[in-house]
Structure 1
Amino acid sequence: MELVQPRCKLCSSTPEVRSSSHLFLDLPSIEPKLRSWLPSSAPQWTSNAQVICDSWIKDGLKQRCITRDLKWGTPVPKDNFREKVFYVWFDAPIGYISMTACYTDQWQRWWFNPDQVKYYQFMAKDNVPFHSVVFPSTLLGTGQNWTKVTHLVATEYLNYEDTKFSKSRGIGVFGDQAASTGIPSDVWRFYLLYLRPESQDTSFSWVDLQTKNNSELLNNLGNFVHRSLTFVFKFFGGAIPAVCPSNHDFEVMAAINKELRQYTSSLACNHQRDGLRAVLSIARIGNQYIQDQEPFKLVKPNRPLEDRERGATVTAIAANIVALVAIVLEPYMPETSGRIKDLLGNPPQLSCLPQAFTQFLASGHVIKEPQPLIMQLDTELIERLSKQCGGETKAPAKKEVNPAEVAQLQAQIEAQGNKVRQMKAGGTASKAEVAAEVAILISLKGQLATAQGIEPTPAGDKDKKKSKKGGGGGKENIKQSPATATAQPPSKTPVDEAEVSRLQALVTQQGDKVRALKTSGASKEAVGPEVAILLDLKQQLAAAQGIDPAILSGKDKKKKK
């Protein structure tokens, strides 16, 4: 495919084709070994990872470039390539090994032990090719017995509200922002795992975050834990009462065991989202159990002994369900799980996952006074965070750039600019005639900006000079000096390609600096001087390219007496 009139997005100059030598990973020569290895690993991968890997090897692997002509990255330690860096997704997976080696001198026990080590990788689907084909091929190519991935777990994409996350446009909430929201980290863990895009794309929503927190965490899980332990502390002095379960209690235990099996199976299959739903279901069963049995009524002193014993049993079973919740919640909300365990006195039996529901807290075991676990997220906070993170703003769709239309408008602008300059230099055209042609020029520039997908800049007043006499009602000064009246359009000088290249690089660098300042929320006082430097560099670039800077900017500076 050939581009029609290709132009640089930043400076509109025509790209120059240059040759460059690079290193390639010889995947075709490793392909037989890769195909031989895949059947032992791929069946444990998620279905999307398998499909993506199959699409790469279906028609045979191609050599893949693993170096780049960049200034940042890991330098290539090879003669004639030392000015280059490795491509990040060739280099980064090797970092998994080097990081382990930095952590322990026993790193080979993990990385050269494929028969005993299960190796899990978690990623979004766009990184699957590098971990299913490229990195395993790199390891196979060494001829050594490396530990290779056994479980490749890939997700689909998480979107933001009704659009995509975009750090450059300030749309979405990111790690540093999440930390400053005041929302506990466990709530973030819970919601992101609740939304985990395991089989299809999902969307983050501030309103949904509020709803899930206030309903699933606060009203369901948090309410169950607090009520259950409050009954123990209020009616039994903080000691777990004796238990005499009925057939109905065993039915409740069976329902809980069903959810526990679902939980265990889900985590074993890397379905973390389903595992979290099982945790919430256990809390929901416990809530319903308390609601049906009403132990707070049964334990009252005026009730018969049989009722009070029944109330004690329900209270004890509910407390033990809380203990199970503390165990299964730990992978999702470790801090909250730790707080529940602390309230229960941290008995050792809560440190491992049981195969079935059992009596975790023996009769007489003493707990601490319960405290609220989950805070409510109010609407005012959610609305503020939504506005702050762009949740209420949908980025406008960019118009597709038509190179032919852009080139045509650029030619019209150049012709119109020459016409305006000649009229001004001739000195015979009236002010009204010049203004009309200038208006056409400004309109063309606006059309060009739109065609390039750039927001047009409103034109300012041009060359207006006002007198301070008579209360500021001065007249425009249109008198020209003799030199201006007889001047001719400047002749074009040869373009210095080296100087143009130097200035283009500086414009790009300064532009990146300005965008970074704006994205970080820097003050106008900090951004203003950098913008001035950028504009000056663009003027220098225009002059070096033989373009009138006035045509490039589309406006003159205002001057006042």
Structure 2
Amino acid sequence: MSSPKVGEVILPKPGQKNLLITSALPYVNNVPHLGNIIGCVLSGDVYARYARLRGYNCIYICGTDEYGTATETKALQMKCTPQEICDKYHKIHAEIYEWFNIGFDKFGRTSTQSQTEIAQDIFNKCHKNGYTQSQEMEQLFCDHCKMFLADRFVEGTCPNCQYPDSRGDQCDKCSKLLNPEELLNPRCSICRNTPHLKSTKHIFLDLPQLQERVNTFVDTNSAKGAWSDNSIHITNTWVKGELKPRCITRDLKWGTPVPLEEYKDKVFYVWFDAPIGYLSITKEYTPEWEKWWKNPEQVELVQFMGKDNVPFHTVIFPASLIGTHDNYTMLKTLSTTEFLNYETGKFSKSRNTGIFGDGAKSTGIPADVFRFYLLSNRPEQSDSIFSWDDFNAKNNELLNNYGNLINRVLKYIDNKYNRVLPAIGVITEGDEQFIKEINKLLFDYFENMEAIKIKEGLKIAMSISARCNAYMQTNKAWDYPVTDPRSGTILNILINCIKMLATIFEPFTPLLSNQIHQQLAVDPTPFSTVFEFLIKPGHEISNNITPLIQRIDGNNLKEYRQRFSGVGPEFPIDCKIAQVKQVDNHPTAENLYLLQLDIGNGVTKTSVAGLKGSYPDPSELKDKKLAVVLNLKPSKFKGVLSEAMVVVADDGAGNVSVLSPPQDEISNVQVGSTIAGKGMTIQPKASIDYQKEFLHYELKLENSKVFYKNTELLIAQKVSLTTSRSTPINAKLK
């Protein structure tokens, strides 16, 4: 019921309510976390399921957004093609959404020929109609790579917080949005060389020419109450001022090619290109896609997304469609969310903080429990927080309010009536009052779901379940003899309440509703807007009545919190990558070198290092990137103060090797990069004593990799640390 049969294609039908439902296309090169899931795909799934149960004719379209700088950058890092990155992560996304029981009619992708054809058609018509312009602009160019650098191909120091590893589009530390040209000390993320500004020509969408028609579109649709308040506010910050031309091309290879000879080496910018994915994915679903997308008289477009996607869907994308002069189906209803954060902060895959789709699956907790919690905590008006304590409380609420009602009633019919629903007796005034209350709550449920107030709809569904529970407790069927007609009346009302609840909960917890229907031994049915006796006396329920919801074990809860909160061993060592800028002989000790070390951000430290025996040629160390410890107690060696210690592996015979990045990664590793284990809490201890503390830390070299407490140490969380010359696979670090 919740999705069409395999091979079935749904098209708009005259005289029916035809809904084209989309959710923001998740970017392909990551694993979606719970905030991503509730922000668009899960919310869209709930409404699509509701619409199908109401008998509306609808399709639900989504897919991975695959073009752009981030994919091309990740492919370079992974030493593979962008297509291979997309293939890998598209599969990961699809599997995660399938586990969450998200029933797309089509979950596609944007790297298709359909995308190229439709995107180029929209551009060509906007261009022909005079809604584009060309502009010269200054952009960073890398002479070594012989290419202009799009935002994520540039790294450097954030001008706002001085973070040295900021990206060209946003600083990961302070979250400030940036342009690549604003970075201090910019470097090409591919070759690490310094780029320079160079003039290049790009195509802009002429939004000022389209502003009047965009304003009319916004005013007409947002005024109907069909847009979330936050989406109206965000949109108005764009359209109430003067719109400016928007660049829609980039100097990349991975993307939809621009169909103009002068711009044949450029592709469309992802935020012009990506929303067109809704159309191309629909075309992959049916060649008659225009019956959905060029049919505004019969089709209503309903879109779901997080607030960060709003202006591209309410201004840029509509302007592109308006500029074609084609009769496109335009956005009518827009449901947006704020952000869901994790209890200890933001979701972060690299820091192992928060629950990602694959992590949710690994807990063994049913997907419907995650669905129920996320939807009851949906960030509709303000940001919300995932909390394990709240998650556990909500699971208990679902169990006590909903699960126990179902289990107690069905178990009683199973045990006392041999699974056969008894005859119904007289319906009392109290029964009629109860049914009247249920019908009032059902009216409220439908009113809120029609307005896409999903969180409130679920709240009302739980209120209906609570009211049914109260009826069961007040009218104790088990207090009557099994032959008493009153028991039959109570059980008939309750079993039909359970049938009704299975239907109204289906958009939220579809697997649970399916299990309830199996235990009832009835088929799912569409919504009824009032309470009905759909299951009749004499009906035989399943012979397999089991509890549907389980409590979460306290020990498991503790383990989940630790696993997903980035809690790992504390790393007490301030260990970084430094570069040797100068090597001098110690003035009084013939076996010691004086190393001048660049540790990043223009800071230089002196290290007195006993490396002369193993590195008699100073040129072996000059300009080398190596690991140093910066929080040892400063000590004087033969009268010279040492401010940093070079970490070495000692084979026990007096031969040592410094630790450095692998040869094929040296150019990618920045001076000043932190060395630590993935998931570790980095808390450098002040002034470590070398003999009493450092030598007793669990640092070891195994198979040419460095470990602390059995966790591999990585440079910048991604590059292994190893020895710079042949050393026994197991050697002592000192």
TM-score by length of 2: 0.56
CA distance in 1, matches of 2:231, 2:552: 37
Alignment partner, residue 338 of structure 1: 514
CA distance in 2, matches of 1:475, 1:132: 66
Find the partner of 1:508 among 662, 668, 680.
668
Q: Distance in 2 between matches of 1:14 and 1:38?
A: 44
Query: Residue 525 of structure 2 aligns with which residue?
Result: 351
What code does the residue aligned with 1:162 have? T
Indicate the residue corresponding to 2:176 in structure 1.
Answer: none
Cα distance change on mapping 1:243 and 1:113 into 2, 3 Å: farther
1:377 maps to amino acid: I
User: Conserved in 2, the CA contact under 8 Å of 1:510 and 1:534?
Assistant: no
1:366 to 540, 544, 565: 540
The answer to which of 174-183 and 47-56 deviates more is: 174-183
Asked if 2 retains the 8 angstrom alpha-carbon contact of 1:156 and 1:198, the reply is yes
% same residue: 35
Distance 1:367 1:55, change over 3 A: same
Alpha-carbon shift at residue 168 of structure 1 (Å): 2.6
Counterpart-to-counterpart distance in 1, 2:713 and 2:182:
34
- Partner deviation per Cα, 1:53-83 (whole Å, 9 max, x = no partner): 1110111211111122234333333323233
The one-letter code sitting in structure 1 at the alignment partner of 2:404 is: N
- What are the ranges of 5 or more consecutive residues in structure 1 without an aligned counterpart? 302-307, 397-409, 469-473, 477-502, 540-556
Verify the 8 A CA contact 2:629 2:645 in the aligned structure 1. Answer: no
Task: Assess if the C-alpha contact under 8 Å between 2:351 and 2:678 holds in 1.
Answer: no
- Deviation of the 1:37 alpha carbon: 2.1
The whole-number CA distance in structure 2 between the counterparts of 1:325 and 1:142 is 47
**3-state secondary structure, aligned to 1:245:** coil
In 1, are the aligned partners of 2:351 and 2:566 still within 8 Å (CA)?
no
- The Cα of 1:267 is off from its aligned counterpart by 0.8
State the match for 1:376 in structure 2.
551
Alignment of 1:138-153 (within 5 A): 138-153=320-335
Q: CA RMSD in A?
A: 4.3
Q: Distance in 2 between matches of 1:506 and 1:206?
A: 41
> Is the CA contact (8 Å cut-off) linking 2:705 and 2:721 kept in structure 1?
no
Instruction: State whether residues 510 and 530 of structure 1, in contact with CA within 8 Å, keep that contact through their aligned partners in structure 2.
Output: no
User: Is the 2:628–2:647 Cα contact (8 Å) retained in structure 1?
Assistant: no
Amino acid at match of 1:380: N
- The CA deviation at 1:22 is 1.5
* Displacement after TM superposition at 1:461 (Å): 5.7
Aligned partners of 2:327, 2:379: CA distance in 1, in Å?
A: 34
Rounded to whole Å, the distance in 2 between the matches of 1:365 and 1:295 is 18
- Relative to structure 1, is the Cα distance of residues 526 and 298 closer, same or farther in structure 2, using a 3 angstrom cutoff? farther
Q: 1:151 to 1:526 in 2, by over 3 A?
A: farther
Aligned pair in 2 of structure 1 residues 558, 527: CA closer, same or farther (>3 Å)?
A: closer
1:139 and 1:127 map into 2 onto residues whose CA distance is 17
Q: 2:418 aligns with which of 214, 224, 237?
A: 237
Q: Which amino acid in the other structure matches residue 508 of structure 1?
A: N
Q: Tell me the equivalent position of 1:123.
A: 305
CA distance in 1, matches of 2:415, 2:521: 17
Secondary structure (helix, strand or coil) at the match of 1:17 reads strand
- 1:56 maps onto 2:232 in alignment: no
Q: Give, in angstroms, the shift of residue 176 of structure 1.
A: 1.9
Give secondary structure in 1 for the equivalent of 2:522.
Answer: coil
Contact kept, 8 Å, 1:6 with 1:15, in 2: the verdict is no
1:481 corresponds to: none
The C-alpha deviation readout for 1:320-349, integer Å capped at 9, x for no partner, is: 1101101101111111111111222225xx
**How far did 1:185 drift?**
1.5
More helix by share: 1
* C-alpha distance in structure 1 between counterparts of 2:481 and 2:274, whole Å: 62
Whose radius of gyration is greater, 1 or 2? Answer: 1
TM-aligned CA deviation for residue 232 of structure 1: 2.1
**Secondary structure, in 3 states, of the residue corresponding to 2:330?**
coil
Cα distance, 1:445 vs structure 2: 7.1
Q: C-alpha displacement at 1:240, in angstroms?
A: 2.3
Distance 1:79 1:383, change over 3 A: farther
| 1:141 CA drift (Å) | 0.5
Segments of structure 2 that go 5 or more residues without pairing to the other structure are 1-158, 160-180, 572-577, 606-626, 632-643, 657-662, 680-700, 707-711, 725-730
Distance 2:732 2:531 in 1: 80
Instruction: State the match for 2:348 in structure 1.
Output: 166
Give the equivalent residue in structure 1 for 2:589: 431
The answer on whether the counterparts of 1:232 and 1:316 sit within 8 Å (CA) in structure 2 is: no
TM-score w.r.t. the length of structure 1 is 0.73
Aligned to 2:384: 202
1:386 to partner: Cα distance: 2.1
Q: Does the CA-based 8 Å contact 2:249-2:266 persist in structure 1? A: yes
